[in-house]
Chains A and B, each alone.
Chain A
Amino acid sequence: MSEVIIELEELTREFVVRRKGDGRRRRRHTIAAVDAMSWSVRAGESVGYIGANGAGKSTTIKMLSGILVPTSGSVRTCGLEPVGQRRDLARRIGVVFGQRSQLWWDLPLEESFSILAAIHQLDPGRGKSRTDELVEQLEMGETLQTPVRQLSLGQRMRAEIAAALLHEPALLILDEPTIGLDVLSKARLREFLIHERTTHGTTLLLTTHDMGDIERLCDRVLVVDRGRLVYDGTLPGLAGTVGARRMLVVDLAAPAADLVDVPHTTHVASEADGLRQRLAFDAEQTTAAEVLAAVAERVEVRDLSIEEPDIEDVVRRIYQTQR
């Protein structure tokens, strides 16, 4: 029985919002950013934590890592109380906030790594070997001398994740790590995370808007809406719950008739006389690759793109089914 890495019980976080009423009377009311959430994560799990913007994801993470104090309820991370035992916890977790940096902006990347090794009081041998391992895995060898502020977004994200993993934490929390990354960078990052988990057994908690991230990386999905947990299960189950579908958009070499007979898909629309066609498919029943192969058997494809179900759409539908 593996240990419990994250445990939330009736966790609540309220904020007082002051809004100017009519005239000069100020209205104060309380909103619950996180509302009596209870869930837990075991060691080695890989959990996707999704929801619309402002649903309470970042607030939860801040409470998990000791940056924010809960209003009520309890949270334990790695068996520790995050706020009270912050420093002990810091040795066991790694957190990456997508929009913010934990590296030293004006210094070469390798210096950030060596400082962090010192911060986590790693023995020089271990620090060096761990850094080398991460640099190799994330293909950052060429960027080591570059000042962090000159790195591209993709390079910076990889660096941030390496920085968070330097001290081999038991839990890695990623807050929107693939935002703004191109397709190739995203793929490489996902591969790295999978490899890291396999070799070190790191528990992963990931918030994202990208269903592709969840699909590739997570065994389990938690959906949060307005501070409340509305779904806890697998991704196919999630999509299945609301019948959400992914969309394959193909640009053909020549206009063709509507592709209505591709298995497991529904033809949604055609543009420009059938030059561009949209096919919706259920992620539970088939994959994008299969659909593409089936389409390619029928017509010549020049270009394609995949549209994911809108997270907000999914969440909204879940919320409605939960009522």
Chain B
Amino acid sequence: MMADVLEVATGARPGGWAAPYKAVLASRIRAQRAYPAGFALDIVGSWLVGLTEFGELFVIFHNIGILGGLDFHAMLLLFGLSNLSWSIADMVVGHVDTLPTYVRAGTLDAFFLRPQPVLAQLVTSEFSLRRLARLTVGLVTMCVGLVINDVTWSVAVVGLLVLAIVFGTAIFAACFVAAASLQFFLINGAELTNTFTYGGSYASAQPAAIFPTPLKLVFGFLVPVAFTSYLPTLWILGLPGPSLLPTWLVWLLPVAAAWSWAMALLLWSWGCRHYQGGGG
């Protein structure tokens, strides 16, 4: 009975609005489980990437004690939280950067011929289970960071963590979508879109206090990745924020996410219009 209610509520029953997405996603996940060897290789690769990113942090702190007001332990939390949210976004939405491939193969046209929004189809066209491994790097680092920093636990702290992960992921997902939208205009522009995706990730894992004002404005408000991990880290550790980014701003995370998505959807509709205008 409960299962029925849940099914109807989420539109997942056959014929409901979510049924199309559920069908595609379920089949993609099933398809991936059939290739365990590739899976293993991807796990190793993901860990290695996570390791080198962490390595950068490690090497810097081998030389100094404090960076932008944060010590190594605080950086662990920052790094972990950023990595975690980004990895979840990558797993769910990361494949949208294959848009050019879809265009070439005619798959995008197939999306136009179906009764769902094109972006929704693109996002749900794949679910990269193998990126699950990358997630563990962030998760582990974050947990270590929470423990090692002697955090005073409270409902607010837990709530903020949940908020940070949920809306942080949303902000990164918006970055992916914005990056994909640009692919409509730049056929070989994968490099530029990296600015949004990997650049955003990189910037989010740094203490924004080190940024000169222009960068603070960009990564704090235009593409608000500072909201995903830096502000939450400051708040949880009870540290003061830099100029322009007081810590209470962190409670506006949902607003930051909404703003990111508004921009991403705008870019996406421009991109679609361009494609339908013959730019394909």
Spell out A's residues near B (CB within 8 Å): 13, 15, 62, 65-69, 83, 86-88, 90-91, 93, 95, 97, 99-102, 104, 106-107, 111, 114-115, 118-124, 127
Contact = CB atoms under 8 A, between A and B. Distances in A.
Given A87-B115, A118-B23, A119-B116, 4 more contacts: A62-B109, A68-B277, A118-B14, A120-B114
7 A-B pairs with the lowest CB-CB distances in the bound complex, closest first: A100-B106, A118-B23, A90-B115, A119-B20, A102-B110, A115-B23, A118-B19
28 contacts: A13-B278, A15-B278, A65-B112, A65-B113, A66-B113, A66-B276, A67-B112, A69-B277, A93-B113, A100-B109, A101-B106, A101-B110, A102-B110, A102-B113, A104-B27, A107-B31, A114-B23, A115-B27, A118-B14, A118-B22, A119-B114, A119-B115, A120-B20, A121-B16, A121-B17, A121-B20, A122-B14, A122-B15
A313 B273 CA distance: 38
Interface SS of B by simple majority: helix
Given A87-B117, A90-B114, A111-B27, A121 B15 contact: yes
Nearest to B20: A119
Nearest to A63: B276
Interface in B236-280: 273, 276-278, 280
B115 A120 contact: yes
B105 interface: yes
Contacts of A127: 14
A52 B58 CA distance: 65
Residue of A13, A66, A120 with most partner-chain B CB within 10 A:
A120
Contacts of B19: 118, 121
Nearest to A13: B278
A66 to B, nearest CB: 6
B24 interface: yes
B113 A95 contact: yes
Nearest to A120: B115
Contact of B14 (A69, A91, A124): A124
A122 B14 CA distance: 7
A119 B24 contact: yes
Contacts of B109: 62, 67, 97, 100
Contacts of A107: 27, 31
A123 B115 contact: no
Nearest to A163: B110
A181 to B, nearest CB: 19
Nearest to A123: B15
Interface in B1-59: 14-17, 19-20, 22-24, 27, 31
B31 A83 contact: no
Given A100-B110, A115-B24, A121-B20, A87 B116 contact: yes
Nearest to B19: A118
A73 to B, nearest CB: 15
Residue of A83, A107, A121 with most partner-chain B CB within 10 A:
A121
A62 B278 CA distance: 10
Nearest to B112: A67
Contacts of B277: 68-69
Nearest to A88: B115
Contacts of A118: 14, 19-20, 22-24
Contact of A68 (B15, B23, B113, B276): B276
Nearest to A124: B14
B112 A66 contact: yes
B148 to A, nearest CB: 44
Contacts of A93: 113
Contacts of A67: 109, 112-113, 276
